[in-house]
Amino acid sequence: MLIGEVARRSGVSTRMLRHYDALGLVRPTGRTVGGYREYSPADIRRIFHVESLRSLGLSLRQIAGALEDPAFTPATLVGDLIRRTEDRLRHEQELLDRLRAVDATTPLDWQDVLRIVELLHGLTSPDAARRQQAVLSPADDVPAELLAEAVLTETDPNVAGALRWALARAGADGVAGVAPGLRSADADVRRRAVRAIAEFPGDEATALLTEALEDPDAAVRRHAALALGNRGATAAVPTLVSMIVEGTNDVEAAEVLGALPGADDIMTALVTELATTDPAVRLRLTQALAEMPATLTRDTLRALTHDDDRAVALLATALVRD
């Protein structure tokens, strides 16, 4: 089969076929009397093999090695191609995100574009001080989704605090931007999301915080419970009581419980936990009773003055006297 016919059937241009020939990648088996290239069925199969490997991103040199080496194993090469492709896609996604962030500001001129690009560089700087500076001096029209993305990835506590402050100014757009973080597979991202949502007022934020009470990560549940308790939401009571039992942010949890409505139910939950034999837990629960109305705690504290654990008894005695 002559080169023109091969090109028509294979979809490979005659120029590329001549290039393959020059490289020794696909050399036609024969020549006509007139000296024209003549391809055999085996040559054509090799052309299709070359094109298939090219479609995977292999260079012509890599293809030549793969086809000529009988001991060639594709695993290493394919693995390398996967990593390079993933890197390229990541860079392309970063570029796409950057372009969308610029587009979201509806820039009027190139000065607007350059300002947003400068902000993006600041937010992604490896230097925490520069990131914080970028957050504290943004333009008013910085897209909330840009701040939300930064909130969910920021590891420096000072920068994270500045980002939460800036995002809270975005209102409902800020809540919507950070809400997907609560569904991340990464617990750290969910923790950042719940802390950011806690900065927002309103029913939407409260609903998201209530959802976070069921999170498998204890830190997410604790952040949500404290935020909800400060909003007067009694749904946080079981988690707040658990925090006292576990000794994690127990003082803060007790203060929040003391300000919540439904004191009778809260007292019932605290007294139920007092059945434990762990003196450290009993001591924390006794201290938490100090935050509750005295009319509800008096009898319980009097009983605790006779507790088998001396520290619990002394604390209860002091609280009764007060």
Tell me the DSSP string of 241-253: HHHHHHTSSHHHH
Alpha-carbon span 115 to 97, nearest angstrom = 16
Q: Phi first, then psi: give them for residue 26, nearest 5 degrees.
A: -140, 100
Q: Quick one: CATH architecture of 3-72? A: Orthogonal Bundle (1.10)
Greatest alpha-carbon span in the chain: 118
317: pLDDT confidence band, cut at 50, 70 and 90? very high
b/e code 93-127 from CB counts within 10 Å (16+ = b): eeeeebeebbeebebeeeeeeebbeebbebbeeee
Residue 254 in contact with residue 244, Cβ under 8 Å?
yes
Q: Which of 2-11, 167-176, 210-219 has the highest mean pLDDT?
A: 210-219
pLDDT band at 143 (very low <50, low <70, confident <90, very high): confident
Rg (CA), the chain: 34
139/116 Cα distance (integer angstroms) = 9
Share of the chain above pLDDT 90, in %: 56
Partners of 30 in the β-ladder? 38
> Measuring CA to CA, how many Å separate 55 from each of 48, 76, 87, 92, 309?
11, 17, 18, 19, 75
pLDDT digits (tens, 9 = 90+) for 199-249: 999 999 999 999 999 999 999 999 999 999 999 999 999 999 999 999 999
**Residue 8 pLDDT > 60:** yes
| pLDDT value of residue 282 | 96
Between CA 28 and CA 35, with CA 34 as vertex, the angle to 5 degrees is 35
The band of 84, judged by pLDDT with boundaries at 50, 70 and 90, is: confident
Cα angle for residues 189, 194, 197 (degrees, 5° grid): 125
Q: What pLDDT shows up at residue 203?
A: 95
Question: For the residues 144-153, what does the mean pLDDT come to?
Answer: 87
Mean pLDDT of 69-77: 75
Task: Look up residue 95 and give its two tokens.
Answer: 């570029």
Tokens encoding 322 = 């007060």
**Domain range annotation of the chain:** 3-72, 232-322
Q: Which two tokens stand for residue 235?
A: 């749904």
Query: Which has the minimum average pLDDT: 125-129, 258-262, 304-308, 314-318?
Result: 125-129
pLDDT bracket for residue 141 (50, 70, 90): low
- β-bridge partners, 38: 2, 30
On average, the pLDDT of the chain sits at 89
Position 142 scores a pLDDT of 64
* Token output for 128: 């925490």
Q: How far apart are CA 182 and CA 221, in angstroms?
A: 11
* Residue 138 confidence (pLDDT): 55
Assess contact for 292 and 258: CB atoms under 8 A: yes
13 pLDDT higher than 80: yes
Residue 304 has pLDDT above 90, yes or no: yes
Q: Pick the more confident residue, 102 or 52.
A: 52
Which two tokens mark 129? 């001080």
- Residue 257 — left, alpha, or beta (φ > 0 → left; ψ -120 to 50 → alpha)? alpha
